[in-house]
Chain A
């Protein structure tokens, strides 16, 4: 051990003490926040979650515990007629687009390109979050999201911030419904802008999330091996409205 030649200065000692305590506290909190659920983590909530909101947000379960093992696709179609005609269906003259696989289109530029831009991840990243939000819903709520909610009717038939919703659902259920609704609104918003880009606009959108598991390792050499895709279906929704600046970027 080296001997300190000069006498420690009070100011430096204070800085060292305060900054060390802050640094140790931060690293301890990071371990608690990013680690698995433990009594320590639970006892530190909700302050822990608040501290890691924003720029300190992180999670390091990279490709774990299960690695990325399926291809995820965001598919959609739109109704190109006015909302009133769309509501009556094709027998009344409503025009619908074909189903489009947005993720497959976005990823075309990624094939063989290490340096592809982030547009290639856009619909896939929405897919991941919407899928997991839908998975947290009860079976009844999952069945409900496949129904159409159009012409101003709120999804689940009730405003989720209303007193009626608080009466209808438990606190956990309501929290999951709100988290899902935020992601659904994001996905519908994305689909609305995509409709502007592709067809110049639409009045309604319909979304299907598809997951195709990778062929199991043991069957990797079998060219005829297939896997069963899974889907999450979100029924017809009104398109969202955006600022002129947003529309002009997508037009």
Chain B
């Protein structure tokens, strides 16, 4: 058979470059636009603010009876250990504090947690909350868990984010006074960079947790999950631990799904379907850790950051669902999106509220 000679010219790199001469300026323009035009994930960040704030608040309240002993003057025995950890003023303010000052500090941390949850003056409250919460943790880092470390880092990033754009006292006050918030471009840039840092930190946590696990023999042979839940420290409900670990298939599947979900997490964020699968799997893993291993604050805090990966459209759909459920009890009125909400999710530009996640 005779080969036909190609009439059209073969693809070449130089041709592609000449056709896409404006690729770099276009890309830079797109990056500039992404960082300056909108403050992204305003609802996701609001959910992260409320949920992580609630978990910290719960953690602070649960520890009230022992706080003076664990983080207050009673923690003085930790001085040889904590003196080399590098916490500087104001984060080391409690090291020589008496009981009165510690109690004041702890109460203030609770008040700030409440202000953070409701979204009141978040530009001022977030850095203060970080200082008050971290200073308490710095007193006794050995009793901290991954959640304590994680949220401390997240709070540093969140200082630069606009956390009260929606679902906050600040936004309610603005609406009531019919005021619109002037958004400075440079502040929008910092907000979006903070969001990128939150997502990057999340990816680092899951990816590294997964990669370290695959190096372990017990994770490789699919039995790792059995050990912590069978220990006294993490097997809070022995009957539940026994129930789960009796069947070797369940143990192996949970062990492998944990590792796969963690390693795959960053890569599954690129497509909305795989992102949904990743978020649901990770949420399931966190619920399991919270209940079976008795670590609700650790799991809750870690999972709360995942909220930024859920789109505004989905959060609004969830809000409407809850709202309908609530109103259905009192009157039959169908809730609808406000104009600002429609702009937020791009309803006018053809993006369906329920089609995004």
- Whether A54 touches B85, Cβ cut-off 8 Å, given contacts A62-B209, A110-B294, A246-B77, is yes
- Whether A249 touches B98, Cβ cut-off 8 Å, given contacts A115-B62, A214-B230, is no
B233 within 8 A of A: yes
- Say whether A4 contacts B33, CB under 8 Å: yes
- Whether A189 touches B219, Cβ cut-off 8 Å, given contacts A34-B204, A126-B142, is no
> Which residues of chain B (245-264) have a CB below 8 Å from chain A?
245-246, 248, 251
B290 within 8 A of A: yes
Chain B interface residue count, Cβ-Cβ cutoff 8 angstroms = 89
A57 within 8 A of B: yes
Partner of A119, one of B70, B204, B219: B70
**Bound: A70/B105 CA distance, A:** 37
B226 within 8 A of A: yes
Partner of A189, one of B68, B76, B91, B190: B76
- Say whether B80 contacts A182, CB under 8 Å: yes
B267 within 8 A of A: no
**Bound: A16/B31 CA distance, A:** 10
**Bound: A20/B190 CA distance, A:** 9
Interface string of A50-86 (1 = CB under 8 A from B): 1001111111111111111111100000000000000
Distance from A143 Cβ to chain B, minimum over Cβ atoms (Å): 23
B146 within 8 A of A: yes
- Whether A35 touches B62, Cβ cut-off 8 Å, given contacts A1-B27, A121-B143, A246-B74, is no
Interface string of B79-92 (1 = CB under 8 A from A): 11100111110010
Inter-chain contacts of A66 with B (CB < 8 A): 216-218
Nearest residue in B to A68 (C-beta to C-beta)?
B228
A3 within 8 A of B: yes
Inter-chain contacts of A9 with B (CB < 8 A): 185
B35 within 8 A of A: yes
Distance from A28 Cβ to chain B, minimum over Cβ atoms (Å): 10
Interface string of A208-251 (1 = CB under 8 A from B): 00000011010011000000000000000000101101101110
Distance from A146 Cβ to chain B, minimum over Cβ atoms (Å): 20
Chain A interface residue count, Cβ-Cβ cutoff 8 angstroms = 82
**Bound: A102/B24 CA distance, A:** 64
Nearest residue in B to A125 (C-beta to C-beta)?
B142
- Say whether B77 contacts A64, CB under 8 Å: no
Distance from A110 Cβ to chain B, minimum over Cβ atoms (Å): 6
Chain-A contact segment, one of B148-156, B270-278, B319-327: B148-156
Nearest residue in A to B149 (C-beta to C-beta)?
A58
Inter-chain contacts of B68 with A (CB < 8 A): 249
Distance from B228 Cβ to chain A, minimum over Cβ atoms (Å): 4
- Say whether B231 contacts A70, CB under 8 Å: yes
B167 within 8 A of A: no
- Say whether A125 contacts B143, CB under 8 Å: yes
Nearest residue in A to B196 (C-beta to C-beta)?
A23
- Say whether A11 contacts B143, CB under 8 Å: no
Distance from B69 Cβ to chain A, minimum over Cβ atoms (Å): 5
> Which residues of chain B (149-183) have a CB below 8 Å from chain A?
149-150, 152-153, 156
B42 within 8 A of A: no
Nearest residue in B to A20 (C-beta to C-beta)?
B193
B291 within 8 A of A: yes
- Say whether A182 contacts B209, CB under 8 Å: no
B351 within 8 A of A: no
Inter-chain contacts of B190 with A (CB < 8 A): 15, 19
Partner of A250, one of B69, B140, B143, B201: B69
A185 within 8 A of B: yes
Partner of A243, one of B73, B186, B237: B73
Nearest residue in B to A218 (C-beta to C-beta)?
B223
- Say whether A55 contacts B296, CB under 8 Å: no
Which residues of A pack against B, CB within 8 Å? 1-4, 8-9, 11-13, 15-16, 19-20, 23, 26-27, 30-31, 34-35, 50, 53-72, 104, 107, 110-119, 121-122, 124-126, 128-129, 181-183, 185-186, 189-190, 192-193, 214-215, 217, 220-221, 240, 242-243, 245-246, 248-250
Q: Other than the known A56-B156, A250-B74, what 4 A-B pairs have Cβ atoms closer than 8 Å? A: A1-B29, A2-B33, A55-B130, A68-B234
19 A-B pairs in the complex with CB atoms less than 8 angstroms apart: A3-B29, A8-B32, A16-B32, A16-B35, A27-B200, A27-B204, A54-B91, A55-B156, A64-B213, A65-B213, A66-B217, A67-B218, A68-B227, A68-B228, A107-B233, A116-B236, A129-B81, A189-B79, A193-B77
Which residues of B pack against A, CB within 8 Å? 26-27, 29-30, 32-33, 35-37, 58, 62-63, 65-66, 68-70, 72-81, 84-88, 91, 98-99, 130, 134, 138, 140-143, 146, 149-150, 152-153, 156, 185-186, 189-190, 193, 196-197, 200-201, 204-205, 208-209, 212-213, 215-219, 223-228, 230-234, 236-237, 245-246, 248, 251, 290-291, 294, 296
